[in-house]
Amino acid sequence: MPEDNYRLFELQDLDIKKKSLINGITNIDKKLEDSLGIKELNLNLELVIEKLNEQNKAQIKINQSRELNEHEINNLNTRLYSGQIRNNKEADAIKFELESKNEIIQQISTTSDKVNENIKKIDQIKDNLELKILSSEEKWIDIKNKLLLDQKKYKQHLEKINIERVKLSKKINKQILDLYERFFALNGNFGIVKIDNDLSPCCKIKLPNAFVEKVKISIDPIICNCGKSLIME
C-alpha cells in the first residue's frame, strides 16, 4: 500500500477522534448552560413569587373591603339604635341594608378563606423550590468544576490533534485529500474504506468483479461504486 494511503487512514483516525472530542465539548457546553436546571428553577421561582404577590395584594383589597363594610355596618347600627329613627319604614330600610352588608361580609369571608388557602399552597411551593435550588446549587459546584476540567482536557487534546492533522494533510495528495474530506463530511465518520471480501463497507453491497480488479490494480484509492467514499484494497 502506498504511503499516502496509510496516511489517509491515519488522517481518518484523527478525524474520528476530533469529531468525538468536538461532540464531547458540545455536550459539556450544553450541561454548563443547563447548570442542573437551576436557571429554569429560578425562573419558576420568580413566577411563583409573582403569583404569591398577586394573592397577597388580593387579600389586602379583601381586608380593605371588609373593613369598609364593617365600618358601614357600625354606622347603620348606630343610626338604628340612636333613638333618632322616626318611623318603622326608616327602621326597616336600615335593617334591610344591614342584612345586605352582612351578606357581603359573609361573601368577603368566603373569598378571603379561599385566597388564604391559595397563599398557603403557593407559599409551600415557593419553599420547596427554594430548597431544591439550594440543593442543586450545592451539587452544581462539584459537577461544574469537573465539567470545566474535562472541557479543558478535551480542548487541549483537540488542539494537539489539529496540529497533527495539519502536518499530516500536507503529506497527502491534494486531489485525493479533497475527495476524502468531502466524503468524510458527507458520511460523518469515514471518507475512505477497505474492500472486505469483495464487499464495500460504505454501501454494504458486493462489488462487481471488474470493479474489485480495478481497485486492486489502482495505486491510489478510487471512488466507490456508490459514490459515497474512497475505497482501496
E strand or H helix that includes residue 68: helix 38-80
- Nearest 5°: the CA angle 210, 216, 217 is 95
State whether 105 and 195 are in the same domain.
no
Looking at residue 193, what is its pLDDT?
Answer: 87
State whether 122 and 225 are in the same domain.
no
Looking at residue 150, what is its pLDDT?
Answer: 97
State whether 61 and 161 are in the same domain.
yes
State whether 40 and 118 are in the same domain.
yes
State mean pLDDT over 170-181.
Answer: 91
Beta bridge partner(s), residue 200: 205
Looking at residue 2, what is its pLDDT?
Answer: 58
State whether 184 and 111 are in the same domain.
no
State whether 19 and 128 are in the same domain.
yes
Query: Whole domain around residue 227: which residue ranges?
Result: 174-232
Residues, the chain: 233
Contact 224, 202 (CB under 8 A): yes
State whether 163 and 180 are in the same domain.
no
Q: Is the dihedral of CA 39, 40, 41, 44 positive or negative?
A: positive
Beta bridge partner(s), residue 232: 194
Which of these three, 169, 185, 212, is where a domain ends? 169
Query: Which of 118, 151, 148 shows the shortest CA–CA distance to 51?
Result: 118
State whether 203 and 146 are in the same domain.
no
Q: Is the dihedral of CA 56, 60, 62, 63 positive or negative?
A: positive
* Parallel, antiparallel or unpaired: strands 222-223 and 230-232: antiparallel
Give the number of other CB atoms < 10 A from CB of residue 107. Answer: 12
Looking at residue 108, what is its pLDDT?
Answer: 95
Q: Any idea which of 44-48, 115-119, 146-150, 227-231 has the lowest mean pLDDT?
A: 227-231
pLDDT tops 60 at residue 1: no
Taking the CA atoms of the chain, what radius of gyration do you get in angstroms? 40
Looking at residue 225, what is its pLDDT?
Answer: 73
pTM above 0.75, yes or no: no
pLDDT tops 80 at residue 5: no
State whether 75 and 128 are in the same domain.
yes
State whether 90 and 164 are in the same domain.
yes
How far apart CA 50 and CA 111 sit, in angstroms, is: 20
Cα torsion 90, 95, 98, 103 to 10°: value is: -140
Q: DSSP state, 201?
A: T
The CATH number for 38's domain is 1.10.287.1490
State whether 62 and 127 are in the same domain.
yes
Which of these three, 149, 169, 189, is where a domain ends? 169
Which of these three, 169, 185, 219, is where a domain ends? 169
State mean pLDDT over 175-179.
Answer: 91
Looking at residue 188, what is its pLDDT?
Answer: 85
Taking only the tens place, the pLDDT of each residue in 63-122 is: 999 999 999 999 989 888 888 888 888 888 989 999 999 999 999 999 999 999 999 999
- Report the domain count for the chain: 2
